[in-house]
Chain A
């Protein structure tokens, strides 16, 4: 149970990078981008093929991100220059990327169990430092050694990577170019009227979004130890679930708060996921349905809560008004006597 939660935090952090990508397209650019299902695998495919070919894992991971960047730029191009509806542009790219990914991989599945990946590198580096003891100490001290995970290197290194990505993104979104990007999603015709090529900014945003998604994909295949061409199915919904859960639970107006909320949303999603898997009558294959239900409830519940709250307030104020009238009536009655 507890170890499952550590697993949830680990994969939550890795998928958080993907969720940040979805946040850029879905929330900042207001572009529901289905490319994600394809570009996630593209990142993983490029990274795994390069790693199996003997490339240094960091280079392979970054190459995966660049592949995603290119995919996103093409989706942006389809929408801006080709005038294709955003949803359709994303679906077209998703379908096209399925074939591209198979071409890159050469086979539907690439095992990497005996390869040097980013995580095996981190692991051996971590062991050399020998600081797991340090992290274990508080658990042992509290007599909860059995609750501690086997090792901390994945959580610690992923926290570092995710925070670096978040900081870079926060910084970019507050530069002049970043402000323009956000304004493009907010009011495109206004940005255009101030002499800005909004098409360019949509493409930059889409490229950036899919680069993050592919980076996440490249990390996931190394984490799993294999790449699979079907890894990306339903990825966009997982991304949306993370963004929406994050917004509902932790969201605030400020950009730095929003990116943090998305990361936490991704972790919460993974926690819900692993708890749901523990329920006896649910099977792993039910997860897509559960994900859809999580997204639907995260979209619907806050709305209906707000409405019923407003209704209650209205009723209360009416009662109060009626009470006031009654009291006034009594006062008048009394004074009349």
Chain B
């Protein structure tokens, strides 16, 4: 479903600020796979996600989605195949417009926009049905401005809008990081339900190890632009937070030892 071949990305090349964000990353996902990515700041998680989404072009390598080479596709073309939820709840919805109008925008992935109809009775029913699966009462507030919703409600709506048109790939960019713990568990549960319901191939970036272990069937740990550890479905079942920390320390420790050796010279 998703294939990454030898992706390289360096920011500010040939300057003192040069930073290698991705260093020869190759991976593939099968349909229905749900991978969680963890790693410290600057590990390259967001760069990877941006390259998948098409907001960044890789320096080398290519991205394949559903059997098509999409590397050169602009963001809006690729968005036909990709649903995305951002970290900031304000980014995924238009605050000045109503819930049903926001849902209408998300239909743009699957159909051309017409000049003759707005929100029809039939689509409104469809929206209401999908909104009711969130179980936070949004289905009764179709004509409320989204700007009046709380952060958690807006993020739940973003999540629904990104998933209900069944994209080939779902990208979740630390989509619970800006929420309080109760809202966070709501969104995580919704993520589980929606991904399962639509059988979505999902890539989720997170800072929380429990989340990374709890969700999905695969796990990648990133550091310094590389995937330094991965767990498949079988391995992930027995994985614990200390295991992950251990893995991380191993790689980090090795590098620190190298640095020390270099400095000692």
Residue ranges of A at the interface with B (Cβ–Cβ < 8 Å):
172, 174-180, 182-183, 186-187, 189-198, 253
Contacts and interface: CB of A to CB of B under 8 A. Distances in A.
Given A176-B117, A177-B114, A187-B91, A182 B109 contact: no
Contacts of A197: 76
Main secondary structure of the interface of A (DSSP, over half): helix
Q: Which of A190, A198, A253 has the most CB of B within 10 A?
A: A190
B94 A192 contact: no
Interface string B80-104: 1000100000011111110001101
6 contacts: A179-B101, A180-B113, A189-B91, A192-B76, A193-B84, A195-B79
Interface string B109-148: 1000111111100000000000000000000000001000
A196 B108 contact: yes
A179 B97 contact: yes
A195 B70 CA distance: 14
A180 B97 CA distance: 10
B79 A194 contact: yes
Interface residues of B, number: 32
Interface of B: 53, 75-80, 84, 91-97, 101-102, 104-109, 113-119, 145, 161
B96 A194 contact: no
Given A174-B118, A192-B76, 17 more contacts: A175-B113, A176-B113, A177-B113, A179-B105, A179-B119, A180-B113, A182-B97, A183-B102, A183-B105, A186-B96, A187-B93, A189-B91, A190-B91, A190-B105, A194-B109, A195-B109, A196-B108
Contacts of B117: 175-176
Contacts of B107: 176
A194 B107 CA distance: 8
Contacts of A191: 94, 105, 108
A87 B108 CA distance: 30
B76 A172 contact: no
Closest 4 CB pairs of A and B: A195-B79, A186-B94, A176-B113, A187-B94
Contacts of B77: 195
Contacts of A175: 113-118
Given A190-B105, A194-B105, A195-B77, A179 B118 contact: yes
A193 B102 CA distance: 12
Nearest to B110: A195
Contact of A195 (B95, B96, B108, B119): B108
B181 to A, nearest CB: 26
A60 to B, nearest CB: 27
Contacts of A183: 94, 97, 101-102, 105
